[in-house]
A and B are shown apart, each in its own frame.
Chain A
């Protein structure tokens, strides 16, 4: 296993929720990363953000890690959940709530409901 793969494995296994993104959660630098970070910020999930633009090894390594060609990528309890389209769909369907509930991840369900109401 390369250094990048070992580092990614360590990060996703030692943090309950991790978002690999372009930019930071405070200052996303891509619309797709911004949307996912925006959902997590709005519903108050405690998550670790990893800026792939700061490390070329991680930027390429994360694509290989989950055989997934794009960024952002969300991980919960070490498992790859999806990218921007999937997280958006899961937010609107309520599946993201279920995933967090099943994994004991705290979040504000009323905030998640607000997102769904706005997109109903």
Chain B
């Protein structure tokens, strides 16, 4: 069975693809690793790990790349996510 994609992950993918035209975009729901810890909720979609490669990041500092992703996801989506680990680069 392929990995289940929840509604939050699907919306994240749509917004990140629109903003960055990524060469690589991997979105993993790590919520089960955090079961019983702060921010965990039944059904998951609270803790994500995202790898995104986009030429749009060329020449940008690490902080600028992270801020660009936060902005692309939007305040409404960021509020739903308890933890977001980002691995961002301009080259694969």
Contact = CB atoms under 8 A, between A and B. Distances in A.
Interface residues of B, number: 14
A26 to B, nearest CB: 18
Contacts, number: 31
Interface in A12-39: 22, 29-32
B58 interface: no
Given A32-B83, A69-B78, A70-B83, A86 B66 contact: yes
Interface residues of A, number: 18
Interface of B: 34, 37-38, 62-63, 66-67, 70, 78, 83-87
A81 B66 CA distance: 12
Contact of B63 (A32, A82, A84): A82
Majority SS of interface residues in chain A? mixed
A89 B63 CA distance: 12
